[in-house]
Amino acid sequence: MLYPLKFKPIFKEKIWGGDVLKRRYNMKLPSSKIGESWNIASHKNGMSVVSNGPLKGESLEDIIKKYGRKLLGKTDDGKTIDEFPLLIKLLDARDVLSVQVHPDDVYAKEYESGELGKTEMWYIIDADPGSFIVYGVEPNITRDGFRKAIEAGDVESCLRRLDIEPGDVIYMPAGMVHAIGAGILLCEIQQNSDTTYRVYDWDRIGDDGMPRELHIDKALDVIDFEGLYTRDKLNGLTIYEGDSSKTYYIATNHFAVEKLRIQGTLADSTDCHNFHALTAIEGSGCIVYEKGHVEFSGGDSILIPAVLGNYKIEGNTTLIKAYMPNINEDIISPLLKKGFCRHELLKITGIKEETLENIN
């Protein structure tokens, strides 16, 4: 029988990492240079293992094989989702990360032996005053100009910086060159991929005394210089249910993301179509479902199986919820029924005029 699953975090030591995950969430870190906690992952570079209930000790991969669509649900065209499509991380940047870019699905399939591309989304949990991220290139920077700047050692002048505060939400589609600045703790929702092209590493030396490898040619292939993605921080669309609220930020074919702020209780449901991946970024609480309950605290991620059905989240807590949406059934129709008008739905990244035109 499936139930809300919790997992042992997979820690990744990084030259830019720290110990904030221990200080903030009391996670048991194996070193003081932990950059990433992979909270839910089914990838060759990291495989989650269940930490609660009867399935404790089993890998996510094995549970997916055993339970199939009962766990992950199905795509819009009815196919069982047979691989966990996301990678859910907490990331502690005490030093700036390399400037990097990820390929899209088409490029990754061709050049990275069938890997997925990587579109990602960041929820900024905490940020020191004055923190920034790199978010795309400055306007008017061309591919050729960028290559010349790399050769001249002048990449920094091409990069667009964005000041960051706690609570900010950033969408990072494949092709957007980016870097996380120092002093930032964030929750990352991304496609299940680990393909990164490093463009520039701030002239930093790695642990072995050598600069880390760069991937300039592939990066130049995939960076969007057309300015297709000039989006800013996302505000999303918030609905209130009693003292709790739900903010819809992203609804794309890669994933949907909501922030749940719970004071008391919030009801939700998986309908066999969908799993929910919840990550507690503040407070603590309890998932209550028909056959039992699972407690959680800040830093935990919980995978709600598609088959679970109705459940409630109780507590005083903020969670980031990620899932593979049927955009019409899960997002557009319910919000229209609640009385939102069409142009308000455009505040959700991924919903476009064309999407709404086809809806009655």
Q: Is 198 a catalytic residue?
A: yes
SS (H, E, C) the chain: CCCCEEECCEEEEEEEEECHHHHHHCCCCCCCCEEEEEEECEECCEECEECCCCCCCCEHHHHHHHHCHHHHEECCCCCECCCCCEEEEEEEECCCCCEEECCCHHHHHHHCCCCCCCCEEEEEEEECCCCEEEEEECCCCCHHHHHHHHHCCCHHHHEEEEECCCCCEEEECCCCCEEECCCEEEEEEEECCCCCEEEECCCCCCCCCCCCCCCHHHHHHHCCCCCCCCCCCCCCEEEEECCEEEEEEEECCCCEEEEEEEEEEEEEECCCCECEEEEEEEEEEEEEECCEEEEEECCCEEEECCCCCEEEEEEEEEEEEEECCCHHHHHHHHHHHCCCCHHHHCCCECCCHHHHHCCC
Alpha carbons 97 and 274: distance in angstroms, whole number? 33
- Compute CA distances 178 → 91, 96, 125, whole Å: 15, 11, 18
What backbone phi and psi angles, to 5 degrees, belong to 71?
-85, -55
Q: Which one is catalytic: 94, 143, 161, 198?
A: 198
Alpha carbons 344 and 325: distance in angstroms, whole number? 19
Residues marked active site are found at 198
